[in-house]
Chains A and B, each alone.
Chain A
Amino acid sequence: TQLLEQSPQFLSIQEGENLTVYCNSSSVFSSLQWYRQEPGEGPVLLVTVVTGGEVKKLKRLTFQFGDARKDSSLHITAAQPGDTGLYLCAGYPTQGGSEKLVFGKGTKLTVNP
């Protein structure tokens, strides 16, 4: 079973549209991180959210951590072709004090010009 479920798995939209991708779990996380990965490259860290209910903005990207720290969302306003990529959420489960970062399978976003 996947500890972090991301949806949708694939998303293809036109330039200028808005979109939201989700990262859900039944487990509580001490923090969640969002990465973007381009083909042939490693994941690049976008943001870390730590506090339940926290909202962080990075230009046109808005990240939210759920109140119960079990889920997160990424909203992109006025998407551009340069936003195309694989968006991964990852987190540290609170149970067990694990130092292992757990990843979702990702949302593959394509923004068409």
Chain B
Amino acid sequence: GENVEQHPSTLSVQEGDSAVIKCTYSDSASNYFPWYKQELGKGPQLIIDIRSNVGEKKDQRIAVTLNKTAKHFSLHITETQPEDSAVYFCAASRVGAGSARQLTFGSGTQLTVLP
């Protein structure tokens, strides 16, 4: 099955600096890669995703890059703000037996933005 590795497990940055979180996956059939942000006491919230037919996607301060050959993808947050502090999860997705998508998650990165 799919295996997703995520690094680093914790990341502290100064407000205004950039943060980068990296993930690798093992199943070459995976073709959808979402990123989730989870704040304390809440469920994961989708913040950006990328599909295998593109190499980069950007949404304001957040960008994701995908290298299918190397099977890795990264989340980039620029101009970080204290409200960006949360746990971030990457995931890789394939279609399951009944056509519903199955997500395999990384172990998460605790991002702390220091004021």
Partners in one complex: no
- Interface residues in chain A, defined as those with a beta carbon under 8 Å from any beta carbon in chain B: none
